[in-house]
Structure 1
Amino acid sequence: MDRSLASGGEIDTLRASPETHFRLLGPLKVIGPNGPLIIPSGRQQIVLGAFLVELERVVSIDQLIDLIWEYDPPNTARTQVQICVSLLRRLLAPTGAEIATHAPGYQLVVEPWRVDAHVQRNLANEAAALLKEGRREEAADRYRAAAALWTGPTLNGLGSGPLRARAAQLDEERISLIESRLEIELDLGRHRQVIGEIGALVEEYPLRERLRAQLMLALYRSGRQADALNAYRVGRELLVEELGLEPGEELRDLESAVLSADPALRAPETWREKTLTMAGHPSAGRSVPRQLPSDTSDFIGRKHVITDLRNALLEGEAANVAVLMGRPGVGKSATAVRVAHLLADEHYPDGQLYCDLRATRGTPVSATTALSRFLRALGVPAQAIPEDVDERAAIYRELLATRRMLVVLDDAALESQLLPLLPAGPGCGVVITSRYFLTGLPGATSIQVENLTDEASIALLSQVLGADRVSAEPEAARALVRAVGHLPLALRIVSARLAARPRWGLTAMVERLADERHRLDELAHGDMTVRASLSLSHEGIDPLAARAFRLLGALEGPTVPMWAAAALLDDSRPFPTDLVEPLVNAHMIDIIGVDSANEPVYRFHELVRDYAREQLARQDVVHRRDAVARVLGGWLSLLDSANQVMTGGDYLRLRGNAPRWNPPKQYVSRLLTDPYCWLEAERANIKHTVFQAVAEGMDEHAWDVVVGYSLFLGRKGYTEDMDELFAAVEPLLRERENRRGLAALIVSAQDASLAQRGSLERIARVNEALDVFADLGDTHGQALVQRQLADLVDKQEVRTRIHLCEQALQGFIKVGDLGGQRRCLILMGYLRFRDGDEKRGMAELGQGLSLAEKSGDPRALAQALRKMGVLEKERTEYDRASEHLERAYTLVDTLDDPVGKAIILRELGRVQGISGRTAQARSLLTRSAEIFGELRFTEKRNEVELDLVGLG
C-alpha cells in the first residue's frame, strides 16, 4: 500500500482504512478493523500517550515514571512501569504495533502513517514545500487538512501534568498551521471570505498578535478601515490589561499603515511564475574558466553520494553549497571532481573554478590568495584586484551574481577560510571537501563520504589488476579489502603495487598486511602513502587531542566508550566527549552510535588504529600501562554500579583490590538506567578488556572484572562467555599465586562456567575456594561458598543443606550482604517446609520475600515468588501457585532472563499437569526444554523432557 500523502486525502485514509490507527490529536483513541480498542485509563493511557508523542524515539523509564507519578514515585515505580508496558504490549498485539525495548527505555514501533500527529506533520511539510514552489492554493489545502486532524485538545483527559504540557505544544502547532493557511488566503485575495473565521479565532485566542494582524488586514482590504483600527484598539487594551505590555512592532506598524492608507496594504496581484530564457544570456562574451582537475578514470561506486551531491547542488533557488566530509584517503576529492565534471556542461556553462586550499598540509591557501586566483580567471586584470579581502570578495560575488558557475574548494578546514569564497548568485554551486565537520556554513548540505563497500572495493581491484587476476583468488581479494578496511587510498596503493608486480599473487599481499605493526609500511607506493595522509591530520590537532588519539590506540575492544579518553588521560572533566570531539572532527575516529546514556560510542578504522599505536610506541610508551590500568579501573567502577542497580546493593560478589577510576556521576546514572541493556551492549568490549588485562599481566584487574561481570552472565545464561573468560584468567591467577582471586573466580563461575561439569568436580572446586577463604579469614567469601554448597550437595541431604544455609546466613549478616541473606532465607524456608517444619519454613521464606521486595531486584523477587509457588503447589493450592509463578514469569520476561524463564515455565508446566490441564502443561514444558537446550543446560533439559514423558 502506497503511504505517500499527496492530495490532502490523509484524513479520509485515517477514517476509511481497515488498518489500525492511533489518534492523539484529541482524546486518545486506537481504532482497529473492528472498531475502537479499549485502553484502560490511568497508567496505560499515559504510557501509550507518551509513546505516541515521542513516536520514532525511545522513551526512557525515568521519563515514564515522571509522567505517571510526577513528584512522588513509589519505590516499585520501575517494576510497575515494566508491568504496565508488558500489559500494553498484550493490548496492542492485535494491531500489529510493537513496543521494543531500547536503552534506556522503550519505543513504540508502528508505521508513522497510522498516527494522526505524523500525518499532520507530513501535511505541514508538504504545504511548506508547495508554497516554496509557488503552488499556494495547494499549500493552503494541505494546511487546512493538517489542522482538521484535531478533534479536540491533544490527549484530552489524560491525568499527567508533564504530558499535558507536551500536548499543549502540539496544540500550538495547530493554531500555527491555521495562521500559515490564513496568510496564504490573504495573499490570494480571499480577504472577504476569511474575515468571519479569523474573527472567531481572535475571540478564542485574543492575545495572539499574528491572528489580530491578519484580522486587521482582512478588514482593511474589505474596505472596513474603522473596524480594522477598532480591532487594534481592543487588542492593545487586552495586552495592557492582561500582561502590562504594549503591542509588538508588527501590530503597531500595521496600525500606522492603516491610518495612512499605505499602498503596500493593498491586495497583491495574481501570482505569476518567473521564467528564465537562454536568449541574451549574460554569459555571452565573458571569460569561461575551466579549472577542474582531470577526472579519475577508474572511479568506482559512490552512487548514493553522487546522487546526494547532485541534489544538493541543483535544488533550491540560492547558490547551493555542499560539503563532502570524510577521513583521510576516503576519496572526497575524487568524488567532488567526478560530480563537477558530470554537471559542468549542462548546469554550469559559465565555467568552473577550482582551488586546493591545502588546509591539512602545513601551507594553507588563504581566502585572499584564492580570491586573487579566481578574479584573474574571471578576467579581472591583476592591477585592478584590491588588497583588502572584503573588497576582493565583493567583486567576486558581483561577477558571479548573474552567472552559472561551479566552485570546487578542496581540502578546507575552517569556515573563516571559506566564507569569502562563497558566491551569492542563484545559478552557482559550491563543492567543498574537508576532513573536518564544517557545520558553520550557512545553508550548506553536509554529505559524509564513507569507505567503499565490499562490492565496490573488489571492483576497484578488478579495474586496476584485471578481472581475471582478481577472480583467480576470490578469497584473497576479499581478505585484501578487509585488511585495508575498504579505504580507497589504501586500495589504490595495494592495486598499484600489485600491478607493478604481475607475478605476485593477491595472497602474498594479504600476508604482508597481516602484521599490523608493519601494515603501514606496506601501504606506500610512489607519492601515495597512507601514513603520510594520516600524519597530516595527526599533526593538525591540538596536543591534548593528539595524546588522547595515541593512547586510545592502546585499547583492544571493538568500540570505544565516551569515558575512555578521560580515563587514559586521568582527566576529571564532566564531559569527556570534549577530549574526543577534535578527533571526530578530523575524522580520526568515528561515532558509530550512542550508548544507554545517549552519549557517543566511537570506533577506529583499522589503519587509523595502526597509526595511533605506531605513534604511541614512539611518544607515549612509558605512560601506556598506567593509562590502560585506569581504563580497566573504569570498567570495574561501572560494573560495581551496575551490580548495585541490579541487586539493590553491593551484594553477592567479592571485590578485588584493583583501583577504580570513576567516570562522571551524572553520566553513570544515565548509563545504568537499565544495567542489563548496557551490559548486553558492552559484551564484546568487556571480553576484550579481560583478555587485555591477562595479556598485560594485570591479574587483580582481570579476576575483578570477570567476577563483576559474572552476575549478568549467569542471569542471561551466557555460559560460553563465562567458560572463555574463566579459561583465560585462571592460568594467570595460578601463575601469580593469587589465591583470593582464584577462589573468587571459582565462586563466580559456579553457576555458569562449571554448570556443565559433574557435581563431584564442581563440589571439589568450590571446596578448594572454601579452604582458601577460611585460610585468609574472608567471611564474605566463606558465606558465598557455603550458600553455593547448599545447592550442590545431594538433594536428599536436607539437614546438611539447611545447616550450610545457616552458616552462610551468619556470614552474610556479619558483612551486611542483604542479597546473600535473602538467598539463604529463601532456600532455608523452602527446605524446612519440605522437611516438615512448615511454620518456620514459611516464616523464613516470607523474610526472604520481604528482602527481595525491598531490594528492587526483579529477579530476586521472581526467585522468591517461584519458591512460594512451588510450596503452594505442594500444598495443593494450585491457583495460588499459578498466581505466584505467573507473577514471577512476568518479572523475568521483562528482564529477558532466559534462565529464569526456563525454570519458571517448567514449574508452571508441572502445576498445569497436576491440575489436569495436559495440553497447557505440554506447551509450557516444551518451551522450557527448548530454552534449556538453547542455553546448553543439557542436564536441566533432560529433566524437563522426563517431565514431558510423565504427562503420558
Structure 2
Amino acid sequence: MEVRGPAGVVRIPPGRQQVILALLLMEAGQVVSTEQLVDTLWEERPPDTARTQVHICVSRLRKSLADASVTAPIDTRAPGYQLRVAREDVDMYAFTAQVKAARVLVKEGRAADAAAQLRAAVALWRGPCLNGIPNRVLRTRALRLDEDRLNAVEDYLELEIGLGRHHELVGEITRLVHENPLRERSRGLLMQALHRSGRQAEALETYRSARELLIDELGLEPGASLRALERAILSGTGADQPARPAEAPAAEPVAAKPRQLPADTADFVGDERLVAAAESVLTGGSGRAVGVVVVVGRPGVGKTAFAAHVGHRVAMEHFPDGQLYCELRGTRGGPTAAAELLGRFLISLGIPGPMIPAGLSERVEMYRTLLADRRVLVVLDDAVTESQVLPLLPGSNTCAVLVTSRSRLTGVPGARQVELDSLDPARSLELLGLVLGQARVDREPEAAAALVRTVGGLPLALRIIGARLAARPHWTLASMVSRLASERRRLDELAHGEMTIRASLSLTHDGMDRSSRELFGLLALADGASLPGWVAGAVLDDDCPYPSDLLEPLVDVQMLDVVAVERTGEFRYHFQDIVRLFAREKAAAGIAPAERAAATARMLGGWLALAEQAHRRVYGGDYTVVHGSAPRWSPPSEYVDELLADPLEWMDGEQANLCGAVQQAADAGLHELCWDLAVTAVTLFEARGYLDDWERTHLRALAAAKTGRDRLGVAAVLGSLGTLHINSGQTRKSSAALTEALDMFLDLDDPRGLGLCRRDLGLLARRAGDDDSARRLYEEAMADFDRAGDVVGRAIVLTQRAEVLGRHGEAARARADLAEAMDIYQQTGYEGGMPHTLRRMGQIQAGEGELHAAAATYRQVLELVRRRRDVIGEGHLLRNLGEVSLSLGEHETAVDCFERSLALREQMLDHGGAAAVRVDLAEVHLRRGDHAKAVDLLTHAAGVYADRGMERERARVERTLVQAGEGTGGD
C-alpha cells in the first residue's frame, strides 16, 4: 500500500496504521465501526485499551495525511470512522471502473478497445493486493481483488485470441498457467492459442497435464468446458474459434450468483465434530443424491448461527455459483409457502418476475432446471414441516441443502440429522470469555464455572448474561451468580425448554432503564425480519436525526442485533425470534393498548410516507396512483433525502417490509392505510416484475377495504388488480376487475381512478383488435387525467394510443402524441416512461419506411433498458432491431440481434418468446438461401407452439416449413 501526495510518497508507519488505512480505503465513503477495526487489528483477545489505541492510530493518520496535503479526511461518524476520498484517487476503484468500461466496449462490439482497456486496468497492479500487510482479515479481502485481476487478465487474453493475436500470446498465457496451474480457464486459453497457431499436439498435451494435475491435487476431472475443448481439437471441429468474450448483455438478471448467507458469527463456539459432520455431507457428494443436512435443537441453542458458520466455511470453495438463503418462519405462526419461496429464489437466480410460472410444480421444474449444472448451497432457516422443504430441494448432486428446524424432519429423503445441544463446560467458558472478555473470566474461574452450570450451557443465556456483565464492569461474576441464585424458580425454568429463554431474557430486560424497556416492547410490534432505525423514532414519535442513538442501549445488551449499514450511515436491526416474542409479552403486560395501537399506526404510517415519497421521486409527482387520507409519519427530511437517493432501489431493498406492513395494517384494522400502501407499492412490483407480491398484498388490501366499507379503497385495489392481470396475461380477470372499479370510480367521481381504469380497458380493447373502442377509451382517459392534473397518466395514454394511430396510417398524429409524451416525461423526470415511448416511435418509423431512423431509435432505447436492468425490454428491443436490420438487408446484423434476443429468452426460460425469435432467424436464413438451417429453426419453434397449445402460431410456422422444405428439395 502506498500513499502519494503533492510532495511525493507519504510514509504510513507499518503495523496498525497501515491496517486501519487499508480497511478505511476498502470501505471508502462508508462508516467503518470501531468494533470492526478492533476485530481486524486483534483477531483474538483485544486488550482493554483497544478502542483507545484505534483512536490514537486514526489521529496519527489524520495528521500524516494533512501534513502531506493529501485530501482524504477521516471523519468520526457513529459508530466509527468514515474516510472521504475521491474514488478516482484510489487505484482499487480505478481498476474496477476500467474493467466495467471495458465490458461496455465488449457489448458495443469494440473488442480491440476493450482488450486495451483491460490491459491498462491490469497495469495498475504491482503485485498481490496489500502485499506486505500481514493481517488475516485484510488478506481475505485482498484475495478477492487478486481474483478480479486474474479474471481481467483472462478476459483480455480471450479477446485478443478472438482478434487473431494467438501467436504472440502463447508465451504470456504459458506464464499465466505456470503461476496459476489449477485455473482451468487459463489452460483453455493456452489450448486455443496453441491450436490456432497450428500446435495441436502441444494443445492436447496442455490438456493432459492439466488433467493429471487436477486428479493428483484435487481428485477431480477437468470441467465440462475444458473437456469440450479437448474433444473439439481432437475432432477438428470448431476449436479454431475461440470462446466468445464475455458478451453477456448489460442487463443481466439480478443476482445471477446470489450470495445470500447471513453473516458468520465472529465469536462462534460449537462442537467441531458436528461442524465437520455437516461439512462432510454437504461437500462429500453422497453418491448420486443431493447432500442434505437438517440442524435441529431447541430455541436458543444456536441453530441459525451454526448453519451460517458451516455455510461460510464451505461456500466459496465448494459452491462458487452462489448461496441461496431464506427464513421459512416456522416459529412465527405463519410459515412461508413453498411457492412464494421458489418465486424469490427464481428472481435471485436471474428470472424476471413476469417469466415465473404461477403453479408450484412449474416453479419447482424451473428451479431444478436452473440448478442442474450449478454448484449452489441452499440454506433453509426455521423450517416447520417437510412439505415446506421438499419443493426447495435441487435435483442435482452438484448442490447441497442446509436446513434448521425445531423438528427433526425425518421425512426429508436422505437427510443427515445434526442435533445441537447445550455447550459442554469448556466451550461454555470459551463463549463466555469471548462475550465478556477473557480477562474477567480468568480472574474469577470458580464463579465463571458456576455461571455456566447455572444456565446449563445454553448459548443464548450465556450471551445474555455475558452482555449484562460487560455493560457493568463494576459487577463481579460472583455477584451475578448470587443474583441468579436468588431467583431459583427462574433458574429451574432456565434448564427446561422455552421457559428457560424467557427467564434468561428477563435478567437483561430488568437491567434496562425505563425508556429502553418501553422502546424494546414497542419495537417488537414491527413484523419485519430486519428493521431500519427510523422505526424506533416512529414508535416513540421521536424525530431525532440519528435513530440509532435510541437503539444502541438495546444493542449494547444484545437484545437487538445490528445486521447491516444503510447508505445514510444508519443501521438495520434484527430481533431474534424468541427475543421478539418475549418483548411482545412485556409490551402487552406493561404498555397500554391505546399506546401500542398508536405506535403501530405511526410505524405503518412511516412505511406509507416513505413509499409515497419514493413513488413521487420515481414518477416526478403523485401521478398514476390513487391515495387515501390515512395519517402518515415521516422521518426527518434530510434522512429521507439520503434514504431515497435511489427510490426504486430503496423500495426493492424494503420489499419484504413493505409487503409485511400491508399485512400488519390489515390485521390492525387500519384499512385505509392498508390499501393505500398496497397500491403505492405497485411502483416496485411493476418495475421489478414482483407479480406474486402484487397479488398477495392486493387481495389482503381488498379484503381490508371491504371490511372497512371503504369504496375508494375497494375501487383503487380492483383497478390495480386489473393492471396486474394485464401483466400476467389474464384478460378476462383484468376486464372484470377494471369494469367493477370503473363503476365505483364513476359513483365517487374520482378522475384519476377513472383515467387509470379507462387507460387499461383501452389497452385490452387494443389487444383484442377493437381499435374503435380503444380510441374512445383513450380519449376519455386523457380527459380524466387532465381533470386530475395527472400529466404522466396522460403521457402513458398518448404512448399507447400512438400504436392504434400508426396501425391506421395516422403516423403524423402518432408522432405528435409521442412527442408530447416525451416532453412530459422530460419535464417531470419520469425516466420509466421514456423507453416505451421511444420504442413506439421506432415502430412508427419502421412502419413508415424510415428504417435507418428506426434502427437509431431502437439502439437508443436499448441503452435505456440496459441501464434499468430491464431484461425483458432488452429482449424485445433486440428483436425489433433485428427486424429493421433484416428490412435493410443487413443480414449479419439481423442474425446477431436475433441470436442475442434468443439467448436472453432462453436464459429467462421464456420458451414461447424464444420460438418467435427462432421464426425471425429462420426468415433471415431463408433469404440467404440456407433452407436447411431455416427448417431446423422452424421445426423447433413448431414443436414449442404445439406443446404450449398455440395453434395459430403453429399453423403459420408449419406453412412456412412447407415452403422452406421445398427449397431444400425435401419430401
Q: Report the TM-score when normalising by structure 2.
A: 0.49
Q: Report the TM-score when normalising by structure 1.
A: 0.49
